[in-house]
Amino acid sequence: MFAGYCHCADCQAWSAAPINAFSLWKSDSVRITKGEAELGTFNKTEHSYRKFCKRCGGHVMTEHPRMRLIDVYANLLRGYRHQPTLHANYASKMVSVRDGLPKYSDLPAELGGSGEMLPD
């Protein structure tokens, strides 16, 4: 559905990086084919349920129930070519990125955000 970069404080903390690459997929199109019993869940709010491997601690994906989308971390998808189309939560950025992509203050309107844009 969407691929981009998130700059929110939660993604910064979770990924231990200033920017998190995301790939959002419709919830019903994502299947766990192996190791589901090894997944743990962490959530601070009802907006996001972060899944991690209980064996190695690696981050796997985040369920976003209100949006009916799942963020599968782009670097985990073999053969997937991350082609970002936007920056989300750019108002929380730690570093500026001048790449010509749209910069949303929070989220695009179709994802439940304000749709407000910020300068590159």
- Report residue 40 as tokens: 């743990």
Tell me the CATH number at 93. 3.90.1590.10
- Give percent of the chain above pLDDT 90: 79
Q: Which domain holds residue 96?
A: 2-118
- C-alpha span between 56 and 75 (Å, rounded): 16
Q: Per-residue pLDDT tens for 48-81?
A: 999 999 999 999 999 999 999 999 988 888 899 9
Rounded average pLDDT over 3-31: 93
Pairing of strands 69-72, 20-26: antiparallel
Total number of domains in the chain? 1
Q: What percent of the chain has pLDDT over 70?
A: 100
CA distance 71 to 30: 9
Q: What is the pTM (predicted TM-score) of this model? A: 0.88
State mean pLDDT over 2-26: 93
